[in-house]
A and B are shown apart, each in its own frame.
Chain A
Amino acid sequence: MKRIIYYTMITAALSLFTVSCSEDYLDTLPTDQVSAADAFTTTTNAMQALNGIHRIMYNQWRNQGEAGEGSMNINRDMLGEDLVMTSAGNGWYNNTYKWVDHRNETSSTDSYPWWVYYRIIANANMIINNIDGATGPQADKDIIKGQALVYRAWGHFNIVQLYGKRYVAGTQNTQLGVPIMLTNNFDGQPRNTVQEVYAQVEADLTQAATLLATYTRPNKSHMNLSVVRGVQARVALTKQDWTAAAAFAVQARTGYSLMTTAEYTGGFNNYTNREWMWGSTVIADQTTYFYSFFAYMSRNFSSTNIRGNPKAINRVLWNDLAFTATDVRKLNFDPTGAHTALALPSTFSKFPYTSQKFIAAGGADSRGDVVYMRAAEMLLIEAEAYARMGGRDTDAQTALNILRQARETVPANYVASTKTGQALIDEIMLNRRLELWGEGFRFTDLKRLNLPLNRNGANHNTALAVVMDVPAGDVRWEWLIPKAEVDANKQMVQNPL
């Protein structure tokens, strides 16, 4: 009897030992991620990879002040003379305004554009280099690849403008640019020359224009041919290639009409706006809270930053006689700071010349669509390019006047500009500054035109701004290469200190 028990035990024991698990016991998969391989099996999946890049444009990243492209718009204007900090607020962007952060290789502001644009480029490269193997209609592949190419070009173009030396027309442009990334490469690449970077940008855009030639997009977060032309116009303008800039700008704005004056004071927060060419919409569960562009640049969102430090316009620009008193663009700023129409709560500080150009979804809701490109900019590119190329002042006046007329609230006050030469260029540039205030153009405009920063005589508080003048060509026009890049990339060369 005992023996039987023993043998039963032994058999049971040994059988338990051999009860191993099935072959795939150790194969586990995440539920909130997909494998990279699956991302490009079909064009449907690849389209999702493209939508991911669209989202990068307005997603919340590492730090407050890193909400996609909107935060870069703030940074680029913060370094100019037209955006005025009214107080230190709670500290955000203070060190950008003071020209400290982009020259501090360990600051997150300095690394952010490098980080976010190369992230866009990497995601675009995954698409560009894998889309051909996906199953699905060729037309879809063209749409996906075309937009990925625009992103790659646009990313490189942004980075080279900040971290590289400026492009000088008529030279070889052999000065240091930034690494060109065409594959998903992790070894650390050397810096290409400025010329090489621009050549690659142009090549990508040219190919994108072909692939997107007939694309009809579902909404303005996607890029169609007009956006490609718009980016091409910006690139040409930066290269001081006036002929190309004008031509691309004309093609880009074809099919768009300008905002009505009523729409112009509507808060710059809706991408279905007729004039917008490219932008993102932000829905409720994609809010970026206190990271949002509107958490710093709107007048109505109740953040500590806005309550204490509403952003103002350079009063010299606002008061410039180039603008009539009834120019709608001036109405977006209040020289008294009261903004009575907004009925701001009493906790909101008031300062002269503050802006209500941008209006957030609500006092408790920092959302708002972010604009990346609109037709007015194309008119301004067209006007500037014609004015600078010489002999085309009439064409320049035409473009400028279309915009000026559209911005006039009292038609009787409108007088067409008849200026020529440098006076015309000056007027165009003043219009550009007022029209695009807060949209992130000023730093790169000063840099491409080799102009100094001059904040004197305006409403800048020297105790906050600290830096009032930066000469043209100063080393500070180049952002420092982030230390994280220098540390991990042996071939990286830092900009002059």
Chain B
Amino acid sequence: MMFVLLMVTGLFAFGQTVQITGVVTSSEDGLPLPGVTVKVQGTTIGTVTGPDGVYTLQVPREAASLEFSFIGMQNQVVSISGQTRVNVTLNPDLVAMEEVVVIAYGTAKKGSFTGAAAQIESKKIETRPIANVTQAIEGTNPGIQATSASGQPGSGQDIRIRGFGSVSASNSPLYVVDGVPYSGSISNLNSQDIESISVLKDAASSALYGNKAANGVVMITTKRGSKSRSSVQFTTTQGLSTRSIPEYERVGALAYYPLMWEADYHRQVYAATPVDPATAAQNSTNNLIARVGYNITDVANNQIVRTDGTLNPDAKILGDYAGDLDWQEPIMRQGYRGEYGLTFNGGDDKSDYYVSLGYLNEKGYVIKSDYERFTGRINVNTTPKKWMRTGLNLSGTMTESNVASSGGTSYVNPFFFTRNMGPIYPVYAHDPVTGDYLIDPATGGYIYDLGNLPGLPTRPAGASPGRHVVAETEWNDDLFKRNVLGARAYIDIMFLKNFKFTFNVASDVSAYNGASFENKTVGDGAPAGRADRENSLTTSYTINQLLNYNKTFDIHSVEVLLGHENYDYTYSYLRGFRQGQIVDGNTELVNFTTTNSLTSYTDKYRTEGYFARLNYNLAEKYFISGSYRYDGSSKFYQDTRWGGFWSVSAAWRMDAENFIKSQQWIDMLKLRSSYGAVGSDNGIDFYAWQARYNIGVNNALEPGFIQANLANEALTWESNNTFDVALEFGLLKRVTGSIEFYHRISSNLLFSVPLPLSSGISSQQQNVGTMYNQGIEARLAVDVVKKPSFRWNVDVNASTVKNEITKLPPGQTEIIQGSKKLMVGHSIYDFWLRDWYGVDPADGAALYVANIKDFTTQASNLRIINETDTVSISQNNAKYAYHGSSIPDLLGGITNTFTYKAFELSILATFQIGGEILDGTYQSLMHSGNYGNASHVDILDRWQKPGDITNVPRLDFAQQTPFTSTSDRWLVDASFFSVKNVTFSYNLPASVTQKAGMKGARVWISGENLLLLNARTGLDPQGSFAGTTDNVYTPSRIVTFGINVSL
């Protein structure tokens, strides 16, 4: 019948038609779109595009325009105006109400979803030069805070979702890869394989991961083949990396001498038995080189700094010293990044496949830091029978990486060592008389100056004598290899029309092999050389059984899910450590003489859970959902190990109501709310409830063990109860957004409570207290310009976090931990610090507001300043007080996307307003005379003579502890604005690619960490959530060029 009708129409039209052809492509990836409906507007004349995106249509001569439509894309009407070739690029449907969100144990349509989830699509991930996909999350959605990724290749970012739910337990979200909690490193995943990342923020969306989801869930889903579009794609990116944040501003070589002179001078004149100033000045002038070791000037040792404390104007840097004082230059290099990927994907009606191979080679900008990764993935799904579907997703990763030491104050940490190395110490040995480089007769090259070579000066304690980070980095090894295998298999069985039974099995196996070697010449390995081998095997299994029931009758729709899940995690560890290298160049343990350590152990962790979920929807207008999960964990005692977690949620599609339908300007309006409880056993040790003794604490050959920790049979699940309400909207066909409020109460906080040291045990795991996080999250995406050839979209998000402790255990009014104090009414990140008063203009002493209440104090410690203020010159006597918080007032991200024809420019910026950072790194550079240690330029503001008004105390070798103790003096504003990523891409026109036999091609250039504006040069404002700093591998700036070809 239809056939006849078409025939008739066709016959009728014959002779009065024009043939129009063209290609329809997607603006997302530039690839041809098969299956697009092409219609002459206002008629039934139409066709669909073929597998190559090409259509051919006979169009009546009088037809004005063609209409293109495709699910998930915006309809487009194009006027014909006499053309016979009409190529069209379809844009994704912004409102995308049919978009599918990946949630716990299933998917949901975004339009009907009752929870809070944010999704990041593959398009936003593919072009970014990141080895760890956690880096794709920051800034894209509200409610997410991230630390910066270390510059060590392969590093990821730490993520916090909606504040900080725990004190001692982990605050990290749960990572779920293809439906299963992931025990491996996220850097095992090839970012090209990622289909989407869903961030589940509220209880309604995460409660089914109840036992692990207290801090939110990041669900990573890998790609699968598409049934209708088979393709082969090749992608490569090539790029360069450099350091993104500059070094702290430090004092130069010649300016350093007068500073150290002053430290020695003041030591004498302010000593308990003072030396008279003239004698002291002469001593300091004469002894300057005795204090700092090196005279790199062309004047005599006692001529560098004059007795008035000023630099001798005739002093110049001698000979080759001038070019050899920068310690960072020799350990840094031009970083490089290359990535190659090949994927095949496709399928037919019954089966689909996705196969990928990837290779990444990244060399960090610090020598001996790199990351090489091979990845492979096969994802096959098939429906052999109508009632049965099954699939397997296998992935393998091989990683090999050299790791630069990072963080802390280890001598082998290049960032610590070079940052704090005084400016007068050369990298290579010089003739002390001429300043010329010394030449090693054996090699003909320069000689590393270890700071204590015979015949050469010795570096003082502040300049790490006998250590040399350049030599040690070059001669030592620290690397690891990791082989990872992941498997996900499932079988779905559909029966009785509305039922589906699913059986999932998943396993992740990670084999890690760490190897380090410390050389014989310099450092901890000297003089024998030593080697360390670490092997671990991490195995996790998840098995679950799910039963789904789906039924729609009239306007009612019901979905029921029942499930049972087991999780089993095993970690086996083996380590050997030997010293006494026998043959040079061989670092295997067999080549060493003495065993210093040989140990192994195995840890086990298991959980088991039962769960259920019910979704109901009335007329696609009213949605309600409820879930319950009952979980047991091996970390808790048998009587307390089971916990129940649940959620209820509802959504109202207001735009489906008639009174809104009539409002043309409203495209979509949804009100949703949820409340639920999720738990956590994360971050406490595997056997937390048991009282244990450590074994292997032997007394020579006699076996021994010592008390390790206390029992706590009452220890149980930490619980997070989250309330969430949100309004989602789409307006004027160009604005979408949401505004959301959450209130998250964490109770039974898992906390490692510090015990009095006199108890002999440092801390105990307890469920302590209650706190809440609450905030407002807003997101607005606007098509500022929306024309067929040019679009400008601005996507802004912003959020607030307020964190407050509301309850501590009875009798425990406060718990002090480092620079923080936990107290009711304060956040876990409120700084509790000595109260800095300032500098006494009379003698330049550091002054703290005095605590005269709690101590018996000698009068000599106290002073009265400004007639009324009692201050102390002893840091022990300082009053502690609350000083701000590391939590910002507002944080967020802005993405600007410009699309012009086939060009796209996307700029991601993040920002934070408010919050404080305790800058301990700066503090160490502001020392009061630690001979040899580099100084920050702010030290130039120091007190020098009576009457000086300044905030920097005098330089005085003897007073370093009281003058530079940790206090609110070291707080700095944490606000920042950062351009995280800029990507500019171009889809080659189909006419060009087709000639070359390709389906499509795209080129792009992308850069990470391009700009940072903040309060202090050198400081990374995203160093840690707690607002403390460390000498970590400064994040790298990476710029890459990429090309993607589809065949």
| Chain A residues near B (Cβ < 8 Å) | 5-6, 9-10, 12-13, 16-17, 19-21, 25-39, 48-56, 59, 87-91, 94-95, 98, 100, 103-106, 111, 114-115, 118-123, 125-126, 178-179, 181, 184-189, 218-219, 221, 280-287, 289-290, 302, 304, 307-308, 345-347, 349, 362-365, 462-463, 466-469, 475, 480, 482-485, 487-489, 492, 494-497
Contact = CB atoms under 8 A, between A and B. Distances in A.
B389 interface: no
Contacts of A494: 854-855
Most buried by A among B291, B595, B597, B704: B704
Contacts of A463: 264, 267, 287, 290-291, 957
A31 B608 contact: no
Interface stretch (B120-128, B164-172, B705-713): B705-713
A28 B687 contact: yes
B702 interface: yes
B965 to A, nearest CB: 8
Interface string B544-568: 0101000000000000001010100
Contacts of A286: 698, 700
B856 A496 contact: yes
Given A90-B466, A307-B452, A49 B706 contact: yes
B564 A114 contact: no
Given A17-B545, A285-B596, A468-B273, 9 more contacts: A25-B566, A26-B606, A29-B690, A56-B706, A87-B461, A90-B466, A114-B758, A187-B756, A463-B264
A352 to B, nearest CB: 16
Contact of A39 (B271, B632, B693): B693
Contacts of A87: 458, 461
Given A28-B604, A118-B759, A364 B527 contact: yes
Given A90-B464, A469-B272, A497-B858, A484 B267 contact: no
23 contacts: A9-B495, A12-B501, A20-B608, A25-B606, A26-B632, A27-B638, A32-B694, A35-B691, A35-B692, A48-B702, A48-B704, A49-B705, A51-B697, A52-B705, A54-B704, A104-B876, A181-B758, A308-B466, A349-B452, A365-B579, A485-B758, A488-B756, A497-B856
A281 B698 CA distance: 11
B528 interface: yes
Given A5-B387, A52-B704, A126-B707, A308 B458 contact: yes
B709 to A, nearest CB: 9
A191 to B, nearest CB: 10
Interface in B758-785: 758-762, 764
Interface in B589-617: 594-599, 601-608
A52 B606 contact: no
Contacts of A285: 595-598
Contact of A30 (B466, B603, B698): B603
B452 A33 contact: no
B289 to A, nearest CB: 13
Given A27-B638, A51-B702, A285-B597, A13 B693 contact: no
B462 interface: yes
Contacts of B267: 463, 466
A119 to B, nearest CB: 5
Contacts of A364: 526-528, 579-580
Contacts of B877: 497
Nearest 6 interchain pairs by C-beta? A122-B760, A51-B704, A364-B528, A304-B466, A88-B461, A52-B706
B467 interface: yes
Contact of B695 (A6, A32, A282): A32
A122 B761 contact: yes
B758 A123 contact: no
Most buried by B among A106, A345, A468, A497: A497
Given A52-B693, A496-B855, A308 B465 contact: yes
Interface in B714-772: 754-762, 764
A364 B694 CA distance: 29
Contacts of B290: 463
B4 interface: no
Contact of B760 (A20, A118, A307): A118
Contacts of B705: 33-34, 39, 48-49, 51-52
A111 B757 contact: yes
A221 B524 CA distance: 29
Contacts of B545: 13, 16-17, 19
Q: Secondary structure of the B side of the interface?
A: mixed
A37 B606 contact: no
A308 B691 contact: no
Contact of B693 (A36, A282, A466): A36
Contacts of B599: 32
B273 A55 contact: no
A332 B704 CA distance: 36
B757 A186 contact: no
B792 interface: no
Interface of B: 264, 267, 271-273, 287, 290-291, 387, 450, 452-454, 458, 460-462, 464-467, 493, 495-496, 499, 501, 503, 524, 526-528, 545, 547, 562, 564, 566, 579-580, 594-599, 601-608, 632-634, 638, 641, 686-687, 690-708, 710-711, 754-762, 764, 815-816, 854-858, 861, 874-877, 931, 957-958, 961, 965-966
Contacts of B467: 90, 304
B697 A59 contact: yes
Contacts of B461: 87-91, 94
B929 to A, nearest CB: 10
B828 to A, nearest CB: 16
B271 to A, nearest CB: 8
Given A9-B501, A10-B495, A364-B527, A123 B700 contact: no
Contacts of B699: 51-52, 54-55, 221, 280
A233 to B, nearest CB: 25
Nearest to B462: A91
A494 B856 CA distance: 8
Contact of A55 (B595, B698, B757): B698
Nearest to A9: B495
A33 B687 contact: yes
A9 B705 CA distance: 54
A289 B464 CA distance: 18
A466 to B, nearest CB: 5
Contacts of A189: 756, 758
B452 A21 contact: no
A94 B929 CA distance: 14
A484 B763 CA distance: 11
A119 B760 contact: yes
Nearest to B268: A462
A463 B284 CA distance: 10
Contacts of A287: 596
A26 B267 CA distance: 63
B291 A36 contact: no
Contacts of B708: 33
B632 A51 contact: no
Contacts of B706: 49, 52-53, 55-56, 119, 123
A475 B272 CA distance: 15
Contacts of B965: 106
A111 B501 CA distance: 61
Contacts of A106: 965-966
B703 A48 contact: yes
Contact of A475 (B387, B526, B858): B858
A484 B757 contact: yes
A179 B638 CA distance: 36
A285 B596 CA distance: 4
A95 B964 CA distance: 14
Contacts of A115: 757, 762
A287 B387 CA distance: 66
A186 B393 CA distance: 51
A6 B496 contact: yes
A308 B452 contact: yes
Contacts of A95: 961
